[in-house]
Amino acid sequence: MLSQLNTFISPAAIYMMPLEIESNRWRCSWLEDKVKVEYHRNDVWEYRGDYELIGNSCCTVCGSRTIVSKGQTFCTNPHHDRVTLDRAYIVGKYYKTGDPRFRDSLLSQHIIKLKNNHFFATPIALAMVLLVKNRYGHLQDFDTLVPVPSYRGKSDQGGQATSIADIVGYELDLAVEDILVKTSESKAVGMKAAERVEMIDNGTFALAEKSTTTKGKKVLLVDDTITTGSTASGCANVLRGSGAAEVSLLVAGKTWS
């Protein structure tokens, strides 16, 4: 449920208005550089913390750090040239559990908890919706959301990406199509960056049987994290091969080191 905090707003500013969203006992509020997260219990809204939004000094295609040299901006991802996304739209930084910054990152904690409990898909998805509404309103014109599959031999139905996409799709009135399957048994978690890229290049994703066509469509992939961009690129390659006109990624966290 969306609720406007301003009583009046001009049509030109419709995508920049402050918003709050409530769903499944969670409430998220847009605060420009962060998203405030609350949970409703015993008739009281409990403040759980903030999702710190990722800054502007990162690559718009893969989310990696950028550096400026001689007046030009460069992405620090050594595999940047192999990322085939049109763009990545990222909520915040994701720190792994061994990183000392993890304990102060509510977004990182919720992403980890999401893997075993889809209850945490709600605040993550609501933060994504606020990001779209306040910064990237044009994403509401995309044709479909496609979850990135996590498990070999089947789509992501019931997985963490789908649990996020279902809520985002409902709030933005976008169709969710679970049309990709993972074909490789290899897991990217724990792999070095070069190994991840090689695994994806060898063909890790495919269209599910009897999937709907993506010909001419603008597709927005949905996932919980992005590291090198290889996983999302593998999905993008399949979708483009089936005729998609544009493939971008909406993701909760960019793995940060």
In tens, the pLDDT along 48-67 reads 999 999 988 899 999 999 99
- CB within 8 Å of 118: residues ≥ 6 apart: 160, 163
**pLDDT reading at 3 higher than 50:** no
Which position has the higher pLDDT, 83 or 197? 83
Give the per-residue pLDDT at 56. Answer: 84
Give the per-residue pLDDT at 12. Answer: 46
**pLDDT reading at 202 higher than 60:** no
Q: pLDDT (tens digit, 9 = 90+) per residue, 208-217?
A: 887 888 999 9
Q: pLDDT (tens digit, 9 = 90+) per residue, 124-181?
A: 999 999 999 999 999 999 999 999 998 755 555 668 999 999 999 999 999 999 999 9
- Other residues' Cβ atoms within 10 Å of the Cβ of residue 81: 9
Distance CA 168, CA 250 (A): 10
**pLDDT reading at 200 higher than 80:** no
- Across the chain, mean pLDDT equals 87
For 127, counting Cβ atoms within 10 Å of its Cβ (0-12 exposed, 13-18 middle, 19+ buried), the class is buried
Q: pLDDT (tens digit, 9 = 90+) per residue, 116-130?
A: 999 999 999 999 999
Q: What confidence category does residue 203 fall into, taking pLDDT thresholds of 50, 70 and 90?
A: low
Give the per-residue pLDDT at 193. Answer: 54
Give the per-residue pLDDT at 55. Answer: 87
- CB within 8 Å of 119: residues ≥ 6 apart: 24, 113
CATH number of the domain encompassing residue 247: 3.40.50.2020
**pLDDT reading at 8 higher than 60:** no
Domain count across the chain = 1
Token duo for residue 244: 């998609």
Token duo for residue 171: 């709030």
Segment among 5-9, 26-30, 92-96 with least mean pLDDT: 5-9
Region 185-211 average pLDDT: 63
Distance CA 166, CA 178 (A): 10
Residue range of the domain that includes 171: 2-9+16-255
Which position has the higher pLDDT, 209 or 43? 43
Half-sphere exposure (Cβ direction) of 218: Cα atoms closer than 13 Å: 10
Instruction: Name residue 8's beta-bridge partners.
Output: none
Give the per-residue pLDDT at 57. Answer: 86
Q: Please, what's the largest Cα pairwise distance for the chain? A: 57
Which position has the higher pLDDT, 136 or 187? 136
Region 84-90 average pLDDT: 98
**pLDDT reading at 197 higher than 70:** no
Task: Write down the pTM of the prediction.
Answer: 0.87
Cα–Cα distances in angstroms (integers) from residue 213 to residues 153, 155, 174, 218, 237, in the given order:
20, 16, 16, 12, 14
Cα–Cα distances in angstroms (integers) from residue 45 to residues 8, 27, 28, 79, 125, in the given order:
26, 8, 11, 44, 19
**pLDDT reading at 242 higher than 90:** yes
Token duo for residue 135: 């910064």
**pLDDT reading at 44 higher than 60:** yes
